[in-house]
Amino acid sequence: MSIHNGLVAEYLFHGNADDSSGNGFHGRVEGAVLTSDRFGQPYRAYAFDGEQAFIEISPPPLLSSEAFSLSVWARYDEKASLAWWNNAIISQDDGGKNKNKDNLRRVFQLSTLGPTTTWHRMKETADAVSKSHLKRGVWYHITAAFDGAFHKLYINGELHDTQAGTLKPHPEEPIFIGKKNTNEKRFLFHGVIDDIRLYNRVLTDQEITALYTENGYASTSDAYLEQANELKVENVTKAKVENREFTVIGIRHCGLFSEYGKIVPQAMQSLQARKDEIFGRTDTETILYEPKRGDDHIEGYFYTGYLVTESVADIPEGMEYFHLSGQYASVAGEESRMGELYGFLDGWIQNNKLQKDWPKAFIIEVYDQDHPSEVEICMKILNRY
């Protein structure tokens, strides 16, 4: 067994971003700074500031559509966001900018979905997602392996998820360390990355363990991992699936997804100013969101509304009536932890092999005035994969 067999590129970051495999795919450093590795040795890893730092490999090594493996060490800093989709560790992904070629330049993306690691494939197949929650300040060994039919994701030598899929290489698309090839700032990595290896073959379980324990190191992160079927934070309920009905009267709003943080509170205020016009209104506020379909979907719509107790014949001018029903996966917790709740629910749905009614069904947020600081997030479920 040799962890060097089949290497197409290797970045140990011993003072630079050169390819130590001998194949000459050296990295161009932009803003990343040499720092100490997981052993405490200085100038043996690269730190990324989450603002503008990255490493570009262009031209990249040509990956194989029949077999491929990626091994990397990463540590998220205290300022790293673990909410929603962000923090690209390494990617070969132009974000769909090359639309005239059917997005062929979207090859892979190892990033963060809420508090979980995700191996994102962008081919309308399920991503491989870690079953444990990340912790800031802890080193993780992450491995993705593809055998021509299935993608496997390993964390600290342990298999976390397996998903069917393909791999379509694209030699013209650069590989980026610490970002993806778009202007989306949230994908800039905030932390430290080290020891990246790319292979043209499938690593065995024994080889993955050898990489994890290389030079005698075993990550201490296991003591901090949280199983994704339990969200171990205060004032948060466990996720669940149940039959639900939502009868809502609301007002439609449109805007850029990037500006929702400003637009949504203003929209809720305009609704509250007209609440007395709604017959049968309860005190429970709701927001119905159109799901974001992808990186090129930049503008969407949503409804701010109230749950009502019965069907209404007279709907106020400028408002709409909805009766939504079906199976919904949901989680509830402090509104201040909204991003973490979304990331947790997405990971829980994938880990339990559930299929979202995506992107047809609204994402629903429910605000019960008996618990003014809490929110419940609901996503409609179709069936198991």
Which of these ranges, 9-13, 40-44, 198-202, has the smallest mean pLDDT?
40-44
Mean pLDDT of the chain: 84
> In the prediction, which pLDDT does 361 show?
93
pLDDT of 125: 67
Q: How far apart are CA 350 and CA 342, in angstroms?
A: 13
**For the ranges 37-46, 212-221, 328-337, which has the lowest average pLDDT?**
212-221
Domain tally for the chain?
2
Nearest Cα residue to 81 out of 168, 189, 1: 189
DSSP 259: G
Residue 230 has a pLDDT of 40
Tell me if residue 299 falls in helix, strand or coil: strand
Do 87 and 203 reside in the same domain of the chain?
Answer: yes
Predicted local confidence at residue 94, as pLDDT: 72
- Per the structure, the complete domain to which residue 218 belongs is given by 7-226
Domain for residue 1, yes or no? no
Q: Using alpha carbons, select from 244, 238, 301, 304 the residue that is nearest to residue 269.
A: 304
Q: Return the number of other C-beta atoms located less than 10 Å from residue 325's C-beta.
A: 11
Please indicate whether residue 207 or residue 169 has the higher confidence score (pLDDT).
Answer: 207
Task: Kindly state the tokens that stand for 344.
Answer: 């947790």
Most confident of 21-35, 75-89, 135-149, 370-384: 21-35
* Residue 366: pLDDT over 60: yes
Question: Percent of the chain having pLDDT more than 70?
Answer: 88
pLDDT tens-place string over residues 229-266: 344 444 445 788 989 999 999 999 999 887 888 899 99
DSSP 350: H
pLDDT at residue 60 is higher than 80: yes
| Residue 295 pLDDT level (bands cut at 50, 70, 90) | low
Which two tokens mark 378?
């609901």
Closest Cα partner for 61 from 19, 104, 4?
Answer: 19
Over residues 349-368, the mean pLDDT reads 86
User: Which pLDDT value is given to residue 97?
Assistant: 58
Average pLDDT over residues 155-174: 85
Do 89 and 215 sit in the same domain of this protein?
yes
Does 160 lie in the same domain as 97?
A: yes
Q: What is the DSSP letter of 136?
A: T
Of the candidate ranges 219-228, 265-274, 280-289, the one whose mean pLDDT is the lowest? 219-228
Element (H, E) at 168: none
Same domain, 187 and 290: no
CATH of the domain at 276: 3.20.80.10
- Considering the domain architecture, whether residues 219 and 303 belong to the same structural domain is answered as no
Is residue 349 classed as helix, strand or coil in its secondary structure? helix
Distances (CA, A) of 92 to 13, 57, 118, 346: 19, 10, 14, 23
Which among 198, 226, 254 is the end of a domain? 226
Lowest mean pLDDT: which of 204-208, 256-260, 269-273? 256-260
Local confidence band at 344 (pLDDT 50, 70, 90 cut-offs):
confident
Pick the residue with more confidence: 83 or 234? 83
Of the pLDDT bands very low, low, confident and very high (cuts 50, 70, 90), residue 118 is confident
Predicted pLDDT of residue 193: 96
What pTM does this model have? 0.60
Separation CA 86–CA 80 (nearest Å): 9
In a domain, residue 11? The reply is yes
Asked if residue 235 belongs to a domain, the reply is no
At which of 191, 226, 261 does a domain end? 226
What tokens does 58 get?
A: 């262009």
Residue 150 shares a structural domain with residue 52: yes
Instruction: Tell me how far apart the alpha carbons of residues 251 and 270 are, in angstroms, rounded to a whole number.
Output: 9
Whether residue 45 sits in one domain with residue 171: yes
Which pair of structure tokens corresponds to residue 297?
Answer: 């979907």
The pLDDT-based confidence of 385 (bands split at 50, 70, 90) is very low
Is 60 exceeded by the pLDDT of residue 228? no
- Considering the domain architecture, whether residues 25 and 157 belong to the same structural domain is answered as yes
> Predicted confidence band at 333 (pLDDT cuts at 50, 70, 90)?
confident
| Average pLDDT of span 192-200 | 96
In this predicted structure, the answer to whether residue 90 has a pLDDT above a threshold of 70 is: yes
- 62 in any annotated domain: yes
pLDDT of 154 reads 95
Q: What is the pLDDT of residue 347?
A: 75
pLDDT at 227 over 50: no
| Confidence at 96, pLDDT banded by 50, 70, 90 | low
Residue 381 β-bridge partners: 356
In a shared domain, residues 354 and 304: yes
Task: Express as a percent the part of the chain with pLDDT over 90.
Answer: 46
Mean pLDDT confidence for 191-203: 95
